């Protein structure tokens, strides 16, 4: 994956560092004096913020543990800690967080909003998506409510981030902003939600929620540089639930793979709105070789869906499974051809040492 100035929120920690409608009667008037019931009221949304925070906070946890990375000065360094955030998805103690929150974390505990601490007993990590699932021995917890699949999120919509910024003593801090953009592709395997909600080191793994108290995504990274302000990114709820369900069912994510190394065009890398195809730089799997795919071929579409970036393929494969046969529209030796390919399993589009090897870990922006 490409590097940029994007920073995973937990990566900067090492110094220790629903319900009610959003549409208000009387917000607008239609001819004849009839009130419009579908006009968004900023005032109404603002009034909902305290209620949403109150409703969602019991589902949000802080995650803290001893850091075993390069900064460690020895086993007796009691202050060598790092922390992040998470939220309850099952009443019996399953919690979603970011994979990078758990990286280098030992003897981790989760602290609920009422101040109770629980040792993390089970951990499932998917580095490719930067998502993880952990388990604590607790019952009767309050799980979050996810926004419905395909929810109509709007740019400008008010959102709230809840988490544990900077200091673990600041658990369940809430900040408010708006959705700044959708379908962003920055330092991640999947498309992200951009918001201007203030998120800081330690907010990683916490929820981004709408004014119905529904989780829209997991706060995961931000741009941090001189003259850069309020540019945070969250993994969308649909992606989170896909990864979560796979981890709960299999203990891993069974991703389909083309068995190819693909190179994006210059336009796709820099974010220009181009329709350039992807170039095959290496044929990895036996199935791909059997399909007649060669190095230097270019890929235009999968099952009729145009793909111009690696993220396009990752997003498409959220609804596919290994073993499925797909139709590829390609150009080979100057000719437009159609190839049938049986999808393998592994981290998609990652270099593998051989046909049976799984994909490598996603490069993280630090």
What φ, ψ does residue 316 adopt, rounded to 5°?
Answer: -60, -40
The SS3 assignment for 12 reads helix
The SS3 assignment for 100 reads helix
The DSSP code for 301 is: E
DSSP assignment of 189-247 equals SS-EEEE-S---TT-TT-EEE-TTSEEEEEEEEEE-STT--S-EEEEEHHHHHHHHHHH
Q: Are 336 and 329 spatial neighbours (Cβ–Cβ below 8 Å)?
A: yes
Mode of pairing for the β-strands spanning 94-97 and 105-111 = unpaired
Show Cβ contacts of residue 127 under 8 Å, excluding neighbours closer than 6 positions: 99, 361, 362, 364
Alpha-carbon separation of residue 345 from 256, 317, 323, 356 (angstroms): 5, 11, 8, 9
Alpha-carbon separation of residue 218 from 8, 49, 194, 223 (angstroms): 12, 18, 11, 16
Pick from 225, 130, 137: nearest CA to 187:
130
**Greatest CA separation for the chain:** 75
Pick from 248, 245, 249, 235: nearest CA to 319:
245
Catalytic residues: 100, 130, 204
How would you classify residue 244: left for phi > 0, otherwise alpha for psi between -120 and 50, otherwise beta?
alpha
Q: Give the C-alpha separation, 99 to 111, whole Å.
A: 18
Q: Are 13 and 26 spatial neighbours (Cβ–Cβ below 8 Å)?
A: no
Q: Which two tokens stand for residue 77?
A: 């360094």
């Amino acid at each position: 994956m490409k590097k940029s100035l994007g920073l995973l929120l937990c990566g900067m920690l090492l110094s220790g560092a629903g319900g009610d409608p959003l549409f208000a009667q009387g917000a607008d008037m239609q001819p004849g004096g009839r009130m419009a019931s579908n006009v968004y009221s900023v005032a109404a949304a603002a009034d909902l913020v305290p209620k949403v925070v109150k409703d969602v906070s019991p589902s949000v946890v802080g995650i803290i543990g001893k850091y075993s990375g390069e900064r460690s000065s020895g086993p007796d360094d009691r202050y060598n800690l790092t922390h992040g955030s998470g939220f309850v998805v099952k009443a019996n103690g399953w919690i979603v967080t970011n994979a990078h929150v758990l990286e280098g974390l030992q003897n981790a505990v989760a602290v609920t909003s009422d101040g109770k601490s629980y040792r993390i007993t089970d951990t499932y990590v998917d580095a490719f998506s930067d998502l993880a699932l952990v388990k604590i021995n607790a019952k009767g917890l309050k799980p979050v409510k996810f926004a419905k699949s395909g929810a109509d999120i709007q740019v400008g919509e008010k959102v709230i981030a809840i988490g544990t910024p900077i200091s673990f003593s600041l658990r369940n801090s809430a900040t408010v902003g708006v959705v700044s953009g959708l379908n962003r592709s920055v330092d991640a395997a999947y498309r992200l939600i951009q918001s201007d909600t203030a998120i800081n080191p330690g907010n990683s793994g916490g929820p981004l929620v709408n004014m119905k108290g529904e989780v829209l995504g997991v706060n995961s990274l931000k741009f941090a540089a001189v003259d850069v302000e309020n540019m945070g990114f969250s993994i969308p709820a649909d992606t989170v639930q896909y990864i979560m369900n796979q981890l709960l069912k299999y203990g891993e994510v069974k991703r389909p793979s083309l068995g190819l190394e693909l190179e994006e065009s210059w336009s796709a890398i820099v974010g220009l709105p181009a329709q350039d195809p992807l170039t095959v730089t290496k044929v990895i799997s036996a199935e791909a070789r059997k399909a007649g795919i060669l190095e230097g071929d270019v890929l235009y579409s999968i099952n009729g869906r145009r793909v111009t970036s690696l993220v396009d393929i990752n997003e498409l494969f959220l609804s596919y499974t290994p073993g499925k046969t797909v139709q590829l529209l390609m150009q080979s030796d100057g000719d437009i051809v159609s190839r049938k390919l049986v999808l393998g399993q592994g981290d998609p589009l990652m270099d593998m040492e051989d046909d049976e090897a799984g994909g490598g870990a996603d490069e993280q922006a630090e």
